[in-house]
Amino acid sequence: MSYFEALQRKDRVAIRAMLVDDGSFIGPLQSFTEADAFMNAADIFMQLTKKVDIKKVLADGNDVCILWDYTTIVPSIPVIPVAAWLTIEADKIKYFHLHFNPAAIVAAKERGEIAKALAGAKHE
């Protein structure tokens, strides 16, 4: 749960500290084996975060599945239901697999709405 609290705060340093250096970080558009590369790609996702609403947490040993709703700062992007499958080893995330439909985010990016929202957020 700490990961999602840090995501809500947009706390990049805290999130990075929760990840092993070399693991599996898989999303619907890109995948990474190095935490730093994952963090660089996840920056926009983090910056776009308005609200993280956790619906359900399921655990089985070191595996955790979190079902949550992701709300962005971009008005045209509806709330996106997300499933995250994490494997924890030595108190760090070694496997992180995000499942969601990225179509609304891709469309908003193509329309320039993400860049506009990010620019507006920097001025707040």
Torsions phi, psi for 46 (to 5 deg): -65, -45
Looking at the predicted structure, is the pLDDT value of residue 123 above 70? no
- The CATH class given to the 2-122 domain equals alpha beta
- % the chain with pLDDT above 70: 98
**Is the pLDDT assigned to residue 64 strictly greater than 60?**
yes
Q: Order across the sheet with 49-60: list the strands.
A: 31-34, 19-26, 92-99, 80-89, 63-72, 49-60
- Say what the pTM is: 0.87
Mean pLDDT for 71-91 is 96
Contact 2, 17 (CB under 8 A): no
Q: What is the pLDDT of residue 120?
A: 85
